Amino acid sequence: MCEDDEGFLYPAADENTCIECGLCEVVCPVIHVQPDVEKEQRAYLVQHKNEQVLRESTSGGAFTAIARWVLDRGGVVCGAGFSTDFEVVHQWANCYEDLRMFRNSKYVQSRIGNTYKEAKQFLMEGKCVLFSGTPCQLEGLFSFLRKPYENLVTVDVVCHACPSPLVYRKYLEAQKKKIGSEFTNILFRDKYYGYKYSTMSIIGCNDSIEYHEGIDTDIMMRAFFANMSVRPSCYQCAFKKRYRNTDFTIWDCFDVDKFSKELDNDKGVTRILAHSDLANIILKESSSQLKVLEINSNKAVEGVKEMFHSVSMNPKREAFFVDLNLLDAEVCFHKYFPVTLRHRLEKQARLWTARLGLYKYIKKIFKAINGNREIKR
């Protein structure tokens, strides 16, 4: 796997050793896209009962409960975590304490490394294996394995798009200068101000050094949601569909108030589509750890654009990556994402409405306005 100028990994075949068997093309999940075939589904809202797990999780902590079910059966868990230098890589956990590294989203394309091979080895040994990732990573795993395994549990996330590891490295470079410290932790979706207005949070070596900025003022998040930093294939994603081959599809539930007043406590809720009988069994047997509410599956996916539609390419994307390789990181980010007075005022407005419990209503108003604009277009 070789990294290109944008920081994304692509396979490079050694023509001297390739025997031209064509197997890579035979199993490629992009060449052979699976149709979105309707099947039975159940949908749930989930919130972990453990306050620490809930606080450390991006949404409702469902993944920790699913992973614990696997560990309780002597299994192993694979997901995206940080390396010692905060690179995002897929890695294994075989004890409860290690599940912490999988909590909180990582808005970077993770390195799969040898985890597909390792997963196959564990499965062949009879171990229960939980593998999690983006939809394309899970389809890659299925194509690699080439047959179903009864001891495999799979979880995919509803994915907006995959941001560049190069953009992330440049971001960390700029933040180290700004904060003036090495990092002890990075949280892409911290609940510092609550679930509904999450922040990019960075903790320095000195505990008094902390950074907490939201979507208005954090340059990594702004690049991501501007669709500037994502992989080219994400603009025509082959895996945007409702009926998936995984056991679980999980994602946020910011509009939890439509379904439950009890769960609408600004602590985070996971929305789940259960695609298999195994998924329903795992949730039932994990109920002692979770608050679980079953909801209508059609209602669960209503209005979830990220599940069905690819993002649109930002017209400045090409220029951004050229400058990212030429300019100082801080200079480049400031050129494309300057933090103006308007951005700072928007941040304060979000903070105050969040503290007053009005943020969700403001978001609904803006969503309705933007929706009407789209209809008029």
Quick one: which of 363, 327, 270, 355 has its CA closest to 67?
Answer: 270
HEC per residue, 149-167:
CCCEEEEEECCCCCECHHH
363, pLDDT greater than 90: no
| 280 within 8 A of 42, measured Cβ to Cβ | yes
365, pLDDT greater than 90: no
> What distance, in Å, lies between the first and last C-alpha atoms of the chain?
42
* Domains of the chain in sequence order: 39-162+230-308 (3.40.640), 165-229+310-340 (no CATH)
Residue type, 125: E
Quick: pLDDT tens for 205-234.
Answer: 876 678 999 988 999 999 999 999 999 999
- Stretch among 148-162, 175-189, 348-362 having the lowest mean pLDDT: 348-362
What ranges in 57-164 are assigned the alpha helix state H? 62-71, 115-124, 135-145
Q: How many CB atoms are located within 10 Å of the residue 363 CB?
A: 16
303 to 284, 300, 306, 316, 371: CA distances (angstroms):
27, 9, 9, 28, 11
Q: What is the DSSP letter of 279?
A: H
Longest Cα–Cα distance of the chain, Å, equals: 65
Q: What is the model's pLDDT at position 372?
A: 47
Task: Taking residues 169-180, report their average pLDDT.
Answer: 90
Q: What is the model's pLDDT at position 359?
A: 67
CA distance 290 to 209: 34
Q: Write the DSSP string, 45-76.
A: EEEES-HHHHHHSSSS-HHHHHHHHHHTTT-E
CA distance 225 to 238: 20
User: Over the chain, what is the mean pLDDT?
Assistant: 92
Tokens at residue 274, please?
């259960």
374, pLDDT greater than 70: no
Quick one: which of 161, 125, 297 has its CA closest to 239?
Answer: 161
Quick: pLDDT tens for 43-94.
Answer: 999 999 999 999 999 999 999 999 999 999 999 999 999 999 999 999 999 9
358, pLDDT greater than 50: yes
Task: Sort 239 into a burial class: Cβ within 10 Å, 0-12 / 13-18 / 19+.
Answer: buried
- Stretch among 108-112, 146-150, 175-179, 317-321 having the lowest mean pLDDT: 175-179
Quick: pLDDT tens for 247-285.
Answer: 999 999 999 999 999 999 999 999 999 999 999 999 999
Confidence of residue 189 (pLDDT cuts 50, 70, 90): very high
> Taking the C-alpha atoms of 156, 157, 160 and 162 in order, what is their torsion angle to the nearest 10 degrees?
-60
Cα 106–259–256 angle (5° rounding)?
30
